[in-house]
Amino acid sequence: MCGIVGYIGKKEVLPILLDGLSRLEYRGYDSAGVAIVNGGGISTAKAKGRIAALKEKIEVMNLKGQVGIAHTRWATHGEPSERNAHPHFDCKGKIAVVHNGIIENFSELRKTLISLGHVFASDTDSEVLAHLIEKFYDENLGEAVRRALRSVRGTYGIAVVASDQPNVIIAARRGSPLVLGVGEKEYYLASDISAILSYTNKIVYPEDGEMIRISREGYTTLTLDNKFIERTPQEVEWSADDIEKGDFAHYMLKEIFEQPQVVRNTTAGRLLINEGSAHFGGLNLSDNELRMIDRILFVACGTAYYAGFVGKYMLEEVAGIPVDICTASEFRYKRILITPTTLVFVVSQSGETADTLAALREVKRKGNKVLGITNVVSSTIARETDGGIFIHAGPEIGVASTKAFMGQITTLALMALNFGRIRDLSASAGKKMAEAISRIPAQIEGILSRRGEIKEIAEKYKDAKSFLFMGRKFNFPIALEGALKLKEITYIHAEGYAAGEMKHGPIALVDKETPSVFICPKDTVYEKTISNISEVRARNGRVIAIATEGDEQLKQHVDDIFYIPRTPEAVAPLLTTVPLQLFAYYTAVAKNLDVDKPRNLAKSVTVE
Ligand code: M6R
């Protein structure tokens, strides 16, 4: 999705803007641009494609100045092209605007502005902001932006500069993330802290519907109703090193390798092995209140949704609580049937996903509490929920979510223990599961040390055009997630299915060109899954199996096998997901694809 970077201070602004844009590349984009305030004018450069293309263009220009804004665009209105790239300008080229989000009433605003004589240079919704600000501009840029924003419907994170106000940037947000980084007589703006973390860790988080006026001397925050509010900087716990790739070829591989540590971080101080339970500080509900809960609902998107699906199996089987799951994009527009004793959780790595945020607001509007399972502590979802659990996975840069999923399902395993023990899960069963969770980090390390085996399998199958991923019970959602990982970064068609459903349709796809990945550990559905494997083999289908170590028998019935350590079935997803992540990763590498920047995808989906 789109990204914003801005700077005002004493340094040359261009390297800061370009560095910030490069750090936002992982979010997905199709064009980029900068605007620099300089000697009574604004210099600008835009390019379609990668930041590298923008840099090439800029090399032959003389872009100097200490105040500027920049943008990466992910097209919504108007094709990816140089003319649609941001910044956008008013008619006189005096005001430059970068915008994330969608202006829903742009069409009517554009018509009105054209009737007033404004001339548009792009097909974007965003350009109306530049012309609206121009319409209201009378030497007070902040006031013009404020009045302009009061006319628009939709979502925005914006940064605005004007050539005759060389010591000012105006920023505002509503529904799109935007933060202010505070330095020594210098300020940084970004839609994502990873763009500015190497310059400062002191961050101001404006709320929805707030504006910031920034100069070298300081900043003021006010609402669109013109009320001043105090927003002081907070220190972020992530460091600049956390967002570096280090010696890894890709962020995705680095993040797959960080998973043992993620499990340690997520369980630290929460997993109570001796009591066979878990404890969370942030739920803001007493054990008695939790006992009153008779249904849980997880709302999320993509991988986070599949984490909720794993959570459904864990909580139903371990804690005996009925759990529903719903994708946020469906949930937000359907009738919401929840009772006061339904506990609603939104699950989101970024905490900024537009559909998930809208679903959260809709539930709150109905008067229910909503809890969150998030990674980004300062995110909008983390701030708007009534409590929740942070997964402490550290910044996830790879577009294909891996370590965040691990943090989410680890959290859900802990939740199953916690909810189970305050109900009727026995201490011995709880202890067995808690001990199994404590062994997971070392077991994942063992799997990672055998990554070469997965690499070989991936290289063998890299030219397949389509894959089926199948599992049962706890591993059904892992099959869905395995298929999603493969399609996201390799562009190979893949379908995840409950193995038992295969004969109700997908078996028609089975032939020797369509390999099937079966997740088949020794669990309560092992024999059933073996039968499904036989059905595929009988139709000449090739089978790759994820199996429990020591299962020599299964080896006879499949083409390729990868072993994972033995663990109770409720905990198995924490292991079975790892070889599938590696499989997707090595297949993408074997196909020479850009693993960290898959086509068409964005890291966090901040538009509907
Ligand atoms: O930041 P969120 O967890 O809310 O993101 C949800 C999905 O957009 C995300 O999981 C997406 O499916 C990933 N690309 C999966 O790898």
Angle at 300 between CA 157 and CA 191, to 5 degrees: 20
pLDDT higher than threshold 90 for residue 76: no
Burial of 428 per CB tally in 10 Å (0-12, 13-18, 19+)? exposed
pLDDT tens digit string along 302-331? 999 999 999 999 999 999 999 999 999 999
Nearest ligand 1 atom to the CA of 601 is 14
What integer pLDDT is reported at residue 312 of this predicted model?
A: 98
Residue with tokens 């979510």: 401
Please tell me the distance from the alpha carbon of residue 43 to that of residue 65, in angstroms, as a whole number.
Answer: 9
Ligand 1 probe mutation, 331, 349, 377, 585, most atoms within 8 A of CB: 349
> Going by CA atoms, what residue is nearest to atom 12 of ligand 1?
302
> Atom 14, ligand 1: which residue's CA is nearest?
400
If one residue of 303, 379, 412, 596 were mutated to test the ligand 1 pocket, choosing by the most ligand atoms within 8 A of its CB, it would be 303
CA distance 375 to 192: 13
Give the C-alpha separation, 254 to 469, whole Å.
Answer: 24
Specify the ligand 1 atom closest to the Cα of 404. 3
Residues belonging to the active site:
2, 603
Confidence of residue 84 (pLDDT cuts 50, 70, 90): very high
Tens of pLDDT, residues 360-389: 999 999 899 999 999 998 888 998 999 999
* Cα-to-centroid distance, 302 and ligand 1 (Å): 5
pLDDT tens string 491-507: 999 999 999 999 999 89
At 182-239, the pLDDT tens digits run 999 999 999 988 899 999 999 999 988 999 999 999 999 999 999 999 999 998 888 7
| pLDDT tens-digit series, residues 459-470 | 999 999 999 999
Ligand 1: which atom is nearest the Cα of residue 349? 3
Q: Residue 593 pLDDT > 90, yes or no?
A: yes
**Three-point CA angle 380, 50, 491, nearest 5°:** 80
Among candidates 86, 130, 132, 136, which has minimal Cα distance to 112?
A: 132
Q: What is the DSSP letter of 27?
A: G
Phi and psi at 60, nearest 5°, equal -95, 5
- Ligand 1 contact, 605 CB (< 6 A): yes
CB neighbour list of residue 183: distance below 8 Å, 6 or more residues apart: 9, 199, 200, 202
Look at ligand 1, atom 8, and give the residue with the nearest C-alpha.
302
- Name the nearest CA neighbour of 398 among 576, 594, 264: 594
- Cα of 373 to ligand 1 centre, how many Å? 13
- Whether the Cβ atoms of residue 344 and residue 338 lie closer than 8 Å to each other: yes
601 CA distance to ligand 1 middle (Å): 10
Q: What is the pLDDT of residue 75?
A: 81
Cβ 303 under 6 angstroms from ligand 1: yes
Q: Please work out whether the CB of residue 356 comes within 6 Å of at least one atom of ligand 1.
A: yes
From 255, 350, 374, the mutation candidate for ligand 1 (largest count of ligand atoms within 8 A of CB) is 350
Is the Cβ atom of 400 under 6 angstroms away from ligand 1? yes
pTM of the entire predicted model: 0.84
Per-residue three-class SS string for 287-304: HHHHHHCCEEEEEECHHH
pLDDT band at 580 (very low <50, low <70, confident <90, very high): very high
As a whole number, mean pLDDT of residues 325-351 equals 93
Q: Which atom of ligand 1 is nearest to the CA of 605?
A: 8
